[in-house]
Amino acid sequence: MAKLPTSRYDVAEHLRTPEEMAAYLEACLAEANGDASFIAKALGDLARAKGMTQVARDSGLSRESLYKALSGERTPAFDTILKVVSALGLSLHAQAARG
């Protein structure tokens, strides 16, 4: 049987609108189970979808520091998270947890 050529799935290629980005982040927050590096990786996916250079410019952070902070291999500082979320055109909201 011949091998079927495949390519690696990149979610960033499928996040085109602010609504899609917000839905993706909401889903990741729901699935993270307290794992901050998981959320950092999700923000990295969103930053790549929007364009890392643009996010770096809008956040005031360097591209290199963004790649490192949003790799999922470390937990970025909360101020970095807030800057990235703002640069993505998103906002964070809180609501009461359901018991």
Do residues 88 and 19 touch, judged by C-beta distance below 8 A? no
- Say if pTM beats, i.e. exceeds, 0.95: no
Domain ranges of the chain: 16-87
* Burial bucket for residue 19 (CB in 10 Å: 0-12, 13-18, 19+): exposed
**Chain position carrying tokens 């959320």:** 39
| Predicted confidence (pLDDT) per residue in 31-89, tens digit | 999 899 999 999 999 999 999 999 999 999 999 999 999 998 988 999 999 999 999 99
Spatial CB neighbours of 38, under 8 Å, sequence gap ≥ 6: 28, 31, 32, 72
Return the amino acid letter for 30.
Answer: A
pLDDT 10s digits, 8-17: 989 999 999 9
d(CA 28, CA 38): 8
